[in-house]
Structure formats: C-alpha cells, structure tokens
C-alpha cells in the first residue's frame, strides 16, 4: 500500500509539473512539424522510416504526450471544473475521444506491421481517425467561439481582442471540418490491381489524368492494389473554393487577435516596441508569398519546391510566433494560475496550426499527425478561454479600483489609506468575480494575497501621482 501510494504521488508530481508539460509540448510540436514537412513533400524518407515515424507518432504523441498533457490540464483546472460545466464536460469528452483514437491507431500500427505498408485496411483506419478528430475539434472550437462572442456582447466595453479570438476560433473550426468534408466526401477513391512486383510506396501527384477524369491528389500502392485519391473534374472548382476558405481566415484572424492582444498588453506597461511589429510581420509575409496568394507560383518543379518550403516555413514560424507571444506574457504576470493557463495556450496554439496543415490524405502517419489537431484544439481552447477570463478580470478589477480609490484621498489621512483601500478592494474583488462568473459561465480568476497587495500598491502609487 505505501509503495503504490508513493508511486501515485510520484506520477502526480511528474504530470503536474509545468516543466514536464512544456517538454511534452515541445515533443508534440516536433512530431507535427515532421509530419507537416513529410506530407508536404519537403522531407523524403523510405517506407521503413515512415512506418517507424507512424509508430512513434501513435505511441509517443497519442500515448505518452497526450496522457501527460491531459493530466496536467486536469490538475491546473481543478478549480475551474468545480465552477464551470463547460470546462468539466469538455475535459471528460476529450479524454474519452483521445484515448479511443489511441486504440484505433494502435490497431492500425499492428495492421501495418502484419500486412505491410499501405494495405487496404490503412485507408479505413485513416478515414475513421480523421473524421472523428475533425468533428470533435470543430465542436470544441465552435463552443469556444460561441463563448467568446457571448462574452463580447455581454461586456460593457467591447474588446476587439475577444472579438478576433472568437472569429479565429470560429474560422479554425470551419477550416478543420471543411477540410475533412473536402477530403472524405469530395475525393473519389479509385482502386486497381497493382502490376507484378510492385513495392509499397506513397506519393502526392497533383497531376490531371484523362483516364481517371480528374486531378490525382495522392497515390499509395502495395503488391496487390494501387489506390488513387482523385478530385473529379466537375468538383474541382468547389474543392478549390473550400480550400481557400479553410486556409486563410484562421491564419489572418489569429494573427490580428495575437497582435491586438500583445499591443493591449504592452499598453499597460509602456509603448508597444517597433521590433514586435517587425517580428510579427515577417512570418505573415512569408506565409502570403509562399501560399501564392500575392504572386502566382511558377510551374517549374524546382521553384515550386522553394515556394513550398517558404510557405510551410511561414506556417511553422507563425505558429511558433503565436505561442511565443503568450510565452512573453507569462514572464510579466505574477499569478501562477494565469501562467499555467498561458502555458497550455502556448502548446495548443503552436501545434494546432501546424497539425491542421498536415495532409491527412497520407493514410498512415499523415492522418495520425493531422488528427493531433484534436489535442491541440483542446489545449488551445482550454488555455485561451481560461487565460482570457483571468486577463479580462485583471483589467476589470484595475479599472474598477482606479475609479473608486481617488475619492478616498479627500476623506482619510495617509496613514489610513492602505487599510481602507484593502477593505474597499476586497469588496470590489468579491463583486467583480461574481459578475465575471455570471458573464463567462462560472469561470473566475481567484486573486492571491500577494496579487492583492500588488494591486493596492500599484493603484495607490498611480492615484497618488495623478492627484499631484
């Protein structure tokens, strides 16, 4: 009994450790980056390396990393779960779905090891995991956007950051579900008997075939069957329209929301540095140029490769930058809970954009890596919503305190200021937290004694200097 108790304590200490969670987030990011570069024809490996990467993605990404991050979020949001049905339900659903996907993918790995790479069963496993993860991710992000829009309407002083993060979450939800619908419902699956001595392989074609009456997107073969995913000629315009809609709005809205958040944050502590405008602009420029949205891409394969490298480099750099913005904020806040919320937001916002750009047409590691968008969406949703509530409450408290403190200076002596202000602040904290819980569905950010002292000292200092 004591040994099992000690083991449980050790597990809790590991999974509840922020450094371990950050390390797990780094591993998750590395997995999705490799998956993106491999499915987008930037890195090339043989079938044995691909099988190994598929197994690593499933065992490490869905097994170890998912377990650590879900345990970590469960621990740091214990108080939130007791107050918010939204947080409580989303965590239960997430655990059930994520480990169900792990079970399906473990069967897929065993299937590949027994029957060889790219056998006919691979497509069914990939489609099932892709469909489930995309549907649940869309629902989670849709609920997040609904919460933000509701919050935006309820607040007296409507906040552009809240609005654009609501739009970003809505656009990302649409992007994930539209991408799944495009690939699962629009593309035709055409199978033919393989020529003799065909080796297992897979590749993206993107070439038009008169015989198949459409543009071949992806081909995977084994000694028995040759399977092609074909975009029918009559559906090409619809497919491309949906592709544009799902690609750009999530990126643009997230970029605007991140810039607005950082700008508002720095307005509280000083002027927004010019270097941040430059740093934020570079990945955006790379993304837009590489996407072909500004310039037409050349037909030459060599140049196409470099533009593709530029585009995917912009995707990775932008996702990393969105996370770095939140990391910068963690260095400037004293609240431990808020730091934890921002930490899981960093992990989610970096990995969700990269995982969503990984092609799920690839029936093994591609589908597995892309489906990590579910874990990423969950981290992004939980962290962003909780952090946004905390930051908003922080700002609301500061505004409320500043409005009520000045009148005290006309009525009390300097020796009594701190005691009276403390009493007034405690009442305001209680009232504001109740109001925030009502507006945000039961979530509030509890202030510690040290944070309360920081508020009082800051407000007294600011008010005293402004009254001179």
Q: List pLDDT tens digits, range 383-396.
A: 877 776 666 555 55
Tokens of 187: 């593309």
Q: Is residue 348 part of a domain?
A: yes
Number of domains in the chain: 2
**Within 10 A of 21 (CB to CB), how many other CB atoms are there?**
25
- pLDDT tens track for 107-130: 999 998 888 888 888 889 999 999
Q: Is residue 400 part of a domain?
A: no
- Per the structure, the complete domain to which residue 411 belongs is given by 405-467
Domain stop point among 394, 424, 459: 394
Domain stop point among 394, 415, 443: 394
- pLDDT tens track for 285-319: 776 766 655 655 555 555 567 777 777 877 888 88
Per-residue pLDDT at 206:
80
Domain identity same for 283 and 358 = yes
Helix, strand or coil, per DSSP, at residue 221: strand
Q: Is residue 155 part of a domain?
A: yes
Q: Is residue 272 part of a domain?
A: yes
- Where residue 271 falls among pLDDT bands split at 50, 70, 90? low
Per-residue pLDDT at 367:
92
Domain identity same for 7 and 142 = yes
Domain identity same for 345 and 444 = no
Asked whether 95 and 161 are in contact (CB, 8 A), the reply is no
**Over the chain, what is the mean pLDDT?**
77
Domain identity same for 27 and 160 = yes
- Ranking 87-96, 136-145, 297-306, 337-346 by mean pLDDT, the lowest is 297-306
- Chain mean position to CA 249: 15
Domain identity same for 424 and 283 = no
Taking the CA atoms of residue 280, residue 285, residue 286 and residue 288 in that order, the dihedral angle to the nearest 10 degrees is 130
Per-residue pLDDT at 467:
45
Over residues 129-140, mean pLDDT: 93
Domain identity same for 79 and 130 = yes
Residue 408 has pLDDT above 50, yes or no: no
Q: Is residue 29 part of a domain?
A: yes
Q: What is the DSSP string of 88-134?
A: HHHHHHHHHHHHHHHHHHHHHHHHHHHH-TT-HHHHHHHHHHHHHHH
Q: Is residue 399 part of a domain?
A: no
Domain identity same for 254 and 307 = yes
Over residues 125-153, mean pLDDT: 89
Per-residue pLDDT at 445:
53
- Tell me the pTM: 0.79
Within 13 Å and on the Cβ side, how many CA atoms surround 254? 30
Domain identity same for 18 and 137 = yes
Give the Cα separation of 325 and 338 in Å (integer): 14
Domain identity same for 349 and 429 = no
Distances (CA, A) of 120 to 53, 107, 126, 434, 455: 20, 14, 11, 57, 63
Between 107 and 453, the more confident residue is 107
Domain identity same for 125 and 211 = yes
Residue 411 has pLDDT above 50, yes or no: no
Domain identity same for 411 and 304 = no
Domain stop point among 375, 394, 413: 394
Task: Tell which residue, 349, 421, 451, has the closest CA to residue 144.
Answer: 349
Domain identity same for 418 and 348 = no
Q: Angle at Cα 344 formed by Cα 338 and Cα 348, nearest 5°?
A: 140
Judged on CB neighbours under 10 Å (0-12, 13-18, 19+), 114 is exposed
Phi/psi region, residue 441 (left: phi>0; alpha: psi -120 to 50; beta: rest), is: left
């Amino acid at each position: 009994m004591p040994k099992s108790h000690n083991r449980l304590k050790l597990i809790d200490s590991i999974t509840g450790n922020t450094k371990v969670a950050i390390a797990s987030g780094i591993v998750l990011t590395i997995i999705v980056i490799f998956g993106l570069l491999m499915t987008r024809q930037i890195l090339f490996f043989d079938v044995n390396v691909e099988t190994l990467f598929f197994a690593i993605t499933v065992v490490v990404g869905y097994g170890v990393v998912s377990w650590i991050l879900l345990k970590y979020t469960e621990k740091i949001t214990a108080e939130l779960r007791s107050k918010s049905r939204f947080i409580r339900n989303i965590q239960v659903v997430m655990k059930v779905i994520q480990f169900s996907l792990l079970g399906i993918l473990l069967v897929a790995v065993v299937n590949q090891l027994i029957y060889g790479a790219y056998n006919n069963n691979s497509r069914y496993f990939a489609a099932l995991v892709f469909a489930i993860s995309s549907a649940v991710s869309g629902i989670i992000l849709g609920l997040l956007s609904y919460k933000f829009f509701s919050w935006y309407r309820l607040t007296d002083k409507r906040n552009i950051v809240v609005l654009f993060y609501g739009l970003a979450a809505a656009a990302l939800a649409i992007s994930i579900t539209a991408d799944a619908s495009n690939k699962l419902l629009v593309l035709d699956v055409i199978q033919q008997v393989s020529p003799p001595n065909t080796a297992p392989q897979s590749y993206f074609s993107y070439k038009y075939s008169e015989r198949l009456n459409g543009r071949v997107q992806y081909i995977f073969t084994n000694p028995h069957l040759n399977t092609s995913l074909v975009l029918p000629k009559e559906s090409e315009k619809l497919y491309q329209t949906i592709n544009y809609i799902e690609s750009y709005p999530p990126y643009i809205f997230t970029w605007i929301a991140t810039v607005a958040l950082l700008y508002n944050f720095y307005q509280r502590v000083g002027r927004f540095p010019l270097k941040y405008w430059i740093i934020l602009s570079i990945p955006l420029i790379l993304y837009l140029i590489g996407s072909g949205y500004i310039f037409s891409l050349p037909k030459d394969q060599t140049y196409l490769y470099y533009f593709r490298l530029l585009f995917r480099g912009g995707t990775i750099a932008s996702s990393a930058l969105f996370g770095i913005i939140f990391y910068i904020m963690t260095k400037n806040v004293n609240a431990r809970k808020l730091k934890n919320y921002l930490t899981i937001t960093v992990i989610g916002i970096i990995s969700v954009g990269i995982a969503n750009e990984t092609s799920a047409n690839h029936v093994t590691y591609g589908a597995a890596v892309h489906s990590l968008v579910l874990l990423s969406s969950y981290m992004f949703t939980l962290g962003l919503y909780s952090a946004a509530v905390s930051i908003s409450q922080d700002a609301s408290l500061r505004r409320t305190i500043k409005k009520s403190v000045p009148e005290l200076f006309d009525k009390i002596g300097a020796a009594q200021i701190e005691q009276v202000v403390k009493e007034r602040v405690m009442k305001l904290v209680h009232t504001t937290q109740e109001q925030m819980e009502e507006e945000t569905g039961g979530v509030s950010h509890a202030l510690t004694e040290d944070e309360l002292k920081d508020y009082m000292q800051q407000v007294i200092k600011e008010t005293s200097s402004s009254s001179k």
